[in-house]
C-alpha cells in the first residue's frame, strides 16, 4: 500500500503548488476540489490515503462533516485541516473527531512538512497495528485447535459457539500444556472484542507483593518506590479481554478484590481515592481442580461461581493420540520455517515411539520434542535419536514404589515448567511437608532460614512466622 496523500482544496493555484511539493516529498498525491468528489474517492473508489490534507470551507460544505462521515465508516488515515480563519468551535470539533491537527492559512511549507510527516508516521503505526490485529484474527480461529479426534472436534465446536457469545467470564480447565492459553487467544481474536486488547496475567509467576499493583495499578506514593502513576493490567484490558492463567494461585486477599472488580466493573488503584470503570471480558485458566480448592478453603466459592459462567475443559494429549498425525507435521513445518530446515520424512519407528508415550506435558511437551528433533536434524529425515522420551511404563509409579519415594520430589524436564515454576514447586512442597514451618523447611532443603524466607515472600507462599 503506497503512501497516498489526498488533497482537498478548491483554490487551483494553491492546490497545484501543494501537489508539486508533496510529490517531491515522495507522496502519491490525489486531489479533490469539492466534498462530493472527495467522498466519491474515499467511499466509492475506496482510496485509503495515509494523510488527508483538507481546506476547512469548501464550495459544498464544511470538511468536518466529511470527516465525521468517514469516521463512522471506520476508515484509517490522519486528517489535517487548513483554514483561512481560526474558529474555536471548528478547532474543538476537529480534534474531537480525531483530526491530527488544525492549521491556519497561510502556513509555511517547513511547518506543514513537519506536521504532515508526523501525521504520516502516526498513520503508518495505526496501519501496522490494524494489519497485525488482522493477522492475529486469521491465526487464532477455532481451527487453530488442531486434531481429528472427537475430543478435538468437540473443543473446536464449543470454541466457535463461545466466540459468538458476548460472555463476561469463562474458566478453561485442563492439565499443564493442553492449550489453555491458545483457547484464550482464540476466544478473544474470534470474538466481538477482537479489536480491543488481550492482556495475559500469569498469577503463579508474579510475586505476591507486586501482584496487586500489577493488576489494579497504583498512584504516586502508594508504596516505597511508587514514583509515578501506573495503569494496572485490568485497566489496560479495558474494552478487550484479560486472561488469568493459573488463577488458582491467586492469594486469598486478591481473590476478594478481583471478585469486586469483576462484579462492579470498576476498580481503585493502590493509593487512589476514586474508582475507575473497566469493561473487560475475563477468561481464567487453571490446571488444578478449583472445586476441590473451594472445599479446602483455599479458593473463594463466590469467585469460583463468578468465573464459571461458562467452563471449557481441554483434553489431555494421551486421550487423543490420533491427533499426533496432525500435530506432529504441523510442528515440523513450523520449525522448518523458523530454522531453515527441510525435514520431510518421519520414520515409522519414530511414529511408534510418539504414539507409545503418555505425554505428561501434553501438547507443550510434544512441541518441545519436535523442536529439538528438527533443529538437530542434518538431513530430510526426522532425527529420532533426539526424542529422549521416557517409556510409558515409567510414566506412573506403582503405589509401592511411590511409598518408597515419599522423601523425594519429581519434576518434569519436558519444558512444561519454567525454572521459576520449578523453584516455586520445590519451596511449596518443602513447606507442606514441614507444616509451613520455615525453619523446618529450610532444614529439609539444606539452606538458611533467611534464604528460604526470601523465596517464600517472592512467591507469596503461606508460612508460619
* CB contact at 8 A, 279 and 265: yes
Cell numbers placing 319? 486421550
| CA torsion, ordered 251, 257, 261, 266, to nearest 10 deg | -140
The β-bridge partners of 270 are 218
Cell numbers placing 426? 520445590
Give the CATH fold of the 318-394 domain: Helicase, Ruva Protein; domain 3 (1.10.8)
* CB contact at 8 A, 18 and 9: yes
DSSP-derived 3-state class of residue 364 = helix
Rounded to an integer, what distance in angstroms lies between the CA atom of residue 326 and that of residue 118? Answer: 48
DSSP letters, 310-362, are SEEEPPPGGG-GGGHHHHHHHHHHHHHHHHT----B--HHHHHHHHH---TTH
pLDDT in tens, 300-341: 999 999 999 999 999 999 999 999 999 999 999 999 999 999
Domain-wise residue ranges, the chain: 4-136, 140-313, 318-394, 399-459
The answer to whether 140-313 and 399-459 have equal CATH topology is: no
Q: Which of 197, 299, 292 is nearest to 258 (CA)?
A: 299
Alpha carbon of 350 to those of 324, 332, 380, 386: distances in Å? 12, 13, 14, 10
pLDDT in tens, 360-377: 999 999 999 999 999 999
Q: Which of 307, 316, 436, 407 is nearest to 365 (CA)?
A: 316
Rounded to an integer, what distance in angstroms lies between the CA atom of residue 196 and that of residue 213? Answer: 22
- CATH no. of 140-313: 3.40.50.300
Residue 24 CB partners (closer than 8 Å, separation 6+): none
* CB contact at 8 A, 138 and 172: no
Count of residues for the chain?
465
DSSP letters, 398-457, are -HHHHHHTTT------SSSS-HHHHHHHHHHHHHHHTTTBHHHHHHHHTS-HHHHHHHHH
Query: Average pLDDT for residues 370-394, to the nearest whole number?
Result: 84
Rounded to an integer, what distance in angstroms lies between the CA atom of residue 425 and that of residue 419? Answer: 10
Name the band, by pLDDT with cuts 50, 70 and 90, for residue 244. very high
pLDDT in tens, 14-65: 899 999 999 998 899 999 999 999 989 988 888 889 999 999 888 888 888 8
Give me the pLDDT at residue 418, please.
75
Phi, psi of 289 (to 5 degrees): -80, 100
- CATH no. of 4-136: 3.40.50.2300
> What predicted TM-score, i.e. pTM, was given to this entire model?
0.61
Looking at domain 399-459, its CATH architecture is Orthogonal Bundle (1.10)
Query: Does residue 129 have a pLDDT over 80?
Result: no
Q: Which of 441, 436, 442, 434 is nearest to 461 (CA)?
A: 436
Query: Does residue 402 have a pLDDT over 50?
Result: no
How far out from the chain centre does Cα 229 lie? 23
Alpha carbon of 355 to those of 230, 348, 364, 402, 412: distances in Å? 49, 11, 16, 26, 19
Amino acid at each position: 500500500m503506497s503512501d497516498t496523500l489526498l488533497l482537498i482544496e478548491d483554490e487551483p493555484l494553491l492546490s497545484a503548488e501543494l501537489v508539486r511539493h508533496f510529490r517531491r516529498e515522495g507522496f502519491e498525491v490525489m486531489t479533490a476540489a469539492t466534498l462530493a468528489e472527495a467522498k466519491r474517492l474515499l467511499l466509492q473508489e475506496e482510496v485509503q490515503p495515509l494523510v488527508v490534507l483538507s481546506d476547512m470551507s469548501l464550495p459544498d460544505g464544511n470538511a468536518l462533516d466529511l470527516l465525521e462521515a468517514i469516521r463512522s465508516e471506520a476508515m484509517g488515515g490522519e486528517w489535517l485541516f487548513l483554514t483561512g480563519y481560526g474558529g474555536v468551535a471548528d478547532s474543538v470539533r476537529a480534534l474531537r473527531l480525531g483530526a491530527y491537527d488544525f492549521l491556519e492559512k497561510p502556513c509555511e511549507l517547513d511547518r506543514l512538512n513537519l506536521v504532515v510527516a508526523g501525521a504520516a508516521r502516526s498513520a503508518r503505526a495505526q496501519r501496522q497495528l490494524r494489519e497485525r490485529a488482522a493477522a492475529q484474527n486469521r491465526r487464532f480461529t477455532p481451527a487453530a485447535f488442531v486434531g481429528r479426534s472427537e475430543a478435538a472436534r468437540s473443543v473446536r465446536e464449543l470454541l466457535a459457539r463461545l466466540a459468538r457469545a458476548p460472555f463476561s467470564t469463562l474458566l478453561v480447565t485442563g492439565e499443564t500444556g493442553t492449550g489453555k492459553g491458545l483457547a484464550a487467544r482464540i476466544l478473544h481474536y474470534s470474538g466481538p472484542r477482537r479489536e480491543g486488547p488481550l492482556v495475559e496475567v500469569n498469577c503463579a509467576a508474579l510475586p505476591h507483593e507486586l501482584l496487586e499493583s500489577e493488576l489494579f495499578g497504583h498512584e504516586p506514593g502508594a508504596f516505597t518506590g511508587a514514583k509515578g502513576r501506573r495503569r494496572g493490567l485490568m485497566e489496560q484490558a479495558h474494552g478487550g479481554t484479560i486472561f488469568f492463567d493459573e488463577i488458582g494461585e491467586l492469594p486469598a486477599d486478591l481473590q476478594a478484590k478481583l471478585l469486586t472488580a469483576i462484579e462492579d466493573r470498576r476498580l481503585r488503584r493502590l493509593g487512589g481515592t476514586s474508582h475507575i470503570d473497566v469493561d473487560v471480558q475475563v477468561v481464567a485458566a487453571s490446571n488444578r481442580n478449583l472445586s476441590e480448592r473451594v472445599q479446602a478453603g483455599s479458593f473463594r466459592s463466590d469467585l469460583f461461581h463468578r468465573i464459571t459462567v461458562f467452563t471449557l475443559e481441554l483434553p489431555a494429549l494421551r486421550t487423543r493420540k490420533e491427533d499426533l498425525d496432525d500435530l506432529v507435521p504441523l510442528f515440523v513445518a513450523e520449525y522448518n520455517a523458523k530454522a531453515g530446515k527441510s525435514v520431510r520424512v518421519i520414520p515409522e519407528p519414530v511414529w511408534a515411539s510418539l504414539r507409545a508415550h503418555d505425554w505428561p506435558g501434553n501438547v507443550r511437551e510434544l512441541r518441545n520434542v519436535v523442536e529439538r528433533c528438527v533443529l538437530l536434524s542434518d538431513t530430510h529425515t526426522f532425527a529420532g535419536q533426539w526424542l529422549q522420551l521416557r517409556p510409558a511404563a515409567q510414566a506412573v509409579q506403582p503405589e509401592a514404589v511411590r511409598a518408597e519415594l515419599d522423601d523425594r520430589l519429581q519434576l518434569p524436564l519436558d519444558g512444561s515448567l519454567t525454572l521459576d515454576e520449578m523453584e516455586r514447586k520445590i519451596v511449596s512442597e518443602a513447606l507442606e511437608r514441614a507444616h509451613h514451618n520455615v525453619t523446618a523447611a529450610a532444614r529439609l532443603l539444606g539452606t538458611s532460614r533467611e534464604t528460604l524466607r526470601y523465596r517464600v515472600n517472592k512467591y507469596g507462599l503461606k508460612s508460619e512466622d
